[in-house]
Amino acid sequence: MSSSSKATSAEPIDLRSDTVTKPSPAMREAMARAEVGDDVYGEDPTVRRLEEQVAALLGKERGLFVPSGSMANQLAIMGHTRPGDEVVVGEGSHSVWYEVGAGAVLAGVQFAIAGKGGLFDVDALDEAIKPPAFYYPRTSLIAIEDTHNRAGGRVWPITQLRAVTERARARGLASHLDGARLFNACVASGTSPGERAASFDSATVCLSKGLGAPVGSVLTGSVEFITRAHRHRKMLGGGMRQVGILAAAGLYALEHNQARLADDHRNARIFAEELMAARSPHLSVNVAAIDTNIVNVDLDLDAEPVVARARELGLFVGASAQKRIRAVTHLDVDEAAVREAARRLSAATGHA
C-alpha cells in the first residue's frame, strides 16, 4: 500500500480513478525480473504467457496485449465492423464519451444508444437495431461495458448479459465485452470471467485499473479475430518491443490483486454511507446502486467548484457531469482514507 492510503488530515486522498495506483515494490520486482524479447517479432515469452493466461481465463482462443483499454475497444470495433456500420452501446459508453471519436475515425462507424442508464435489455436492443434497408447503416456490433463506468460501476446481471448477446447473435450482430473492470464484476457477483465472457465474440480486460498494474489491457477472441486485431494494432503504432516488463506487472496483478477488489467495493460503500451520514443538503448518493468501486455523487450545485474546493481540502475527485462527481476506490486507499474523504467532500459542499 502506498503512502497515499494514510488518512491523516494533511495527506491528499486521490479518488479520481482506480488508474492512479502506483506499482507496489513486489510488482516492480516482478517487472525487473521479467524475461523479455522483441514482441514485434513475437519473441517475448512474458507477453505470450500473459496473453495465454488471459485468453484461458476468458475462455477465448487467443489474446493480444495492448497498451490501453481504448485501443482494445477500437481494435474490436475495427475487427467486427465495416465503414458505415453502426455499433449498439449502452448510454454513457466509454467508446462514445472517452475515446476521442476514434470509432468514427478509425473504423468509420457510428453509435446507437440502447436503453437508458448504461445497462439495457433485449427489447431495447431490438429497438436500437436498424432493419436491413439499403439506406440504413448496417447494425453489425453490440459493445457492452461490464462493469459500466458512467453508470457508477454497475454489474450486469449475468442472465441479462446472456440474453442480450444471444439476441444480438440471432440478429446477425457480433458482440464485444468491454471488461475494463470485469474482475470487479466477477468479485461483486461471484461469477467467473469465463462465465461472463462466454457469450461474447471478443472480450477485453484492463490490468491498469483495479488490478493496479501501470499499463496494459488484453483483448481476446478467436484466432481469426486476433489475427486481424494484431494487424490493426501494428497499423496504429501499437507494436511494442521488450514489453514483457509491462506484461510481468499484469501477471503479478492477476495473481495478487483480484480477490482484494472486495475491499475496494466495501470501501466504496463506506464512503457513500459516510457521505450520507454527514447530511450535507447539497449532495446525495444512491447507496443501493453501488455494486463495485465507483460512487456517483449527485449535487444540487455545479460540480466543478466543489471539485476545486475538495482539492484545496486534500481530496481529488472528478466532475463526471454538470452536477455529478465521481469517486473511485482502489488499492492505494484504505477504510480510514475513505472515511476522511467523505468528511472532506461534505465540507467541500459548504457543509462541515
Ligand X SMILES: Cc1ncc(COP(=O)(O)O)c(C=O)c1O
Q: Look up residue 269 and give its three cell numbers.
A: 460503500
* String of contacts with ligand X for each residue 183-212, x by CB under 6 A: -----------------------x-x----
Residues 76, 77, 81, CA angle at the centre, nearest 5°?
A: 120
Residue 70, SS3 per DSSP: helix
Encoded one letter per residue, x for contact with ligand X by CB under 6 A and - for no contact, window 28-67 reads: ----------------------------------------
User: CB-wise, 105 or 277, nearer to ligand X?
Assistant: 105
Contact between 21 and ligand X per CB under 6 A: no
Out of 5, 68, 191, 242, name the contact with ligand X by CB under 6 A: 68
Residues 110-139 that bind ligand X (CB under 6 A): none
| Closest distance of CB 312 from ligand X, Å | 26
At residue 66, what are phi and psi to the nearest 5 degrees?
Answer: -130, 160
Q: Is 91 in the site for ligand X (CB under 6 A)?
A: no
Give the Cα separation of 106 and 119 in Å (integer). 26
Residues linked to residue 90 through DSSP beta bridges, in sequence order: 114
Q: Which three cell numbers stand for residue 260?
A: 482484494
Task: Measure the CA–CA gap between 81 and 89, rounded to whole angstroms.
Answer: 14
Verify binding: residue 343, ligand X, rule CB under 6 A.
no
Q: Does 145 bind ligand X (CB under 6 A)?
A: yes
Q: Using CA of residue 121, residue 127, residue 131, residue 134, what is the dihedral sign?
A: negative
325 backbone φψ class: left, alpha, beta (φ>0; ψ -120 to 50) = beta
For residues 103 and 340, which CB has a smaller minimum distance to ligand X in the complex?
103
Instruction: Give the residue with the Cβ less far from ligand X, 7 or 218.
Output: 218
Under the binding rule (CB under 6 A), the answer on residue 155 touching ligand X is: no
Candidates 69-77, 132-140, 189-197, 233-241: pick the segment binding ligand X (CB under 6 A): 69-77
Residues pairing with 299 in the sheet: 283
**How large is the greatest C-alpha to C-alpha distance in the chain, in angstroms?**
64
Select the span of 38-46, 68-76, 110-118, 313-321 touching ligand X (CB under 6 A).
68-76
Decide if 336 contacts 7 (C-beta within 8 A).
Answer: yes
**Single-letter code of the amino acid located at 349:** T
Q: Which residue is nearest to ligand X (CB)?
A: 69
**Could you say which of 4, 21, 70, 257 contacts ligand X (CB under 6 A)?**
70
Side chain identity at 193, as an amino acid letter? P
* Binding of ligand X by 291 (CB under 6 A): no
Query: Of 94, 167, 233, 269, which lies in the binding site for ligand X, with binding defined by CB under 6 A?
Result: 94
Count of residues touching ligand X (by CB under 6 A):
12
Residues composing the chain: 352
Nearest-approach distance from CB 334 to ligand X, in angstroms: 22
Which residues are bridge partners to 65 per DSSP?
Answer: 218
Query: Which residues are near ligand X by CB under 6 A?
Result: 68-70, 73, 94, 145, 149, 178, 180, 206, 208, 217
